[in-house]
Structure 1
Amino acid sequence: MALFVKNLQAVDGLISNLYKGISADEMTKKVTEVMEQQGYQVTNDQFGNLILEKGSRIKRLLLGAFVIYFKFSVTMAPGVNNELTINIFQQSSGMSGGLIGMNQIKTELARLNFLFSNI
């Protein structure tokens, strides 16, 4: 059963998707499972709020674009008619990797948009 309904917004640093027929708890478990398979460390801050982190920030600062570091936050907001809105925010700019690092972040955000649209 496809849970994804539509992409509400996709701009620099933000993705907003609409899902139907799933609770925030179930979606939190599903997102955690999928993102851990992608190599992300998932931290559950509060109900429906996740921090996704991949790589080492210290190594990124020291070695620049040669080291991968991504950090995103995920928030979930229940809506009417059993709908759930998920927002994915970019938390690292990639500036420590220069222009290459900034492009890596944009590419990863586009990949996450595709990944979340297939949940």
Structure 2
Amino acid sequence: MVHFIKNLQTVDGLISNLYKDITVEEMTTKITDLFDLQGYKVIDQQFGNLILEKGNRTKRLLLGAFATYYKFSVTMVSDSDNELTVNVFQQSSGMSGGLIGMKQVKTELARLNFIFANI
């Protein structure tokens, strides 16, 4: 069952989506499982807050755009109407990979927007 209702905002480095009939715990489990399949690690998990990381930062610094590194934070806020707002923030700019690295991070954020729209 798809819980996605609509995209509230998509700006440079931020995705904000609205979901219905899902709790913070259920969404956390879905995100963790889904992004584990995508190669992401959940490096910090608190109630309603996740940090997702893929790749190695040190390799990115040494090899630039030839190494993969993405870091995003996810925050979840529920309201009284049984709706859940999920915000995805870009935590790494890709600057260590130069212009190509910055483009890679923007492309990954667009891909994540599609994935979050199908939850």
TM-score by length of 1: 0.98
Q: Secondary structure at the match of 1:25?
A: helix
Q: Shift of residue 80 of structure 1?
A: 2.4
| 1:26 aligned residue | 26
Instruction: Among all aligned residue pairs of Structure 1 and Structure 2, give the percentage whose two residues are the same amino acid.
Output: 71
User: Per-residue CA shift, 1:35-58, capped at 9, x if unaligned?
Assistant: 000000013431010000000000
1:5 aligns with 2:16: no
| 1:81 aligned residue | 81
1:16 aligns with 2:16: yes
The equivalences for 1:101-112 within 5 A come to 101-112=101-112
Q: Secondary structure at the match of 2:113?
A: helix
The runs of at least 4 consecutive aligned structure 1 residues that moved more than 6 Å come to none
Matched residues in 1 for 2:44 and 2:57: separation? 19
Matched residues in 2 for 1:43 and 1:26: separation? 18
Q: Secondary structure at the match of 1:43?
A: strand
Matched residues in 2 for 1:57 and 1:44: separation? 16
TM-score by length of 2: 0.98
The equivalences for 1:34-113 within 5 A come to 34-113=34-113
Matched residues in 1 for 2:30 and 2:2: separation? 13
5+ long unaligned stretches in structure 2: none
Query: In structure 2, what residue type is equivalent to 1:86?
Result: V
Query: In structure 2, what residue type is equivalent to 1:33?
Result: D
Q: How many residues align?
A: 119
5+ long unaligned stretches in structure 1: none
Query: In structure 2, what residue type is equivalent to 1:34?
Result: L
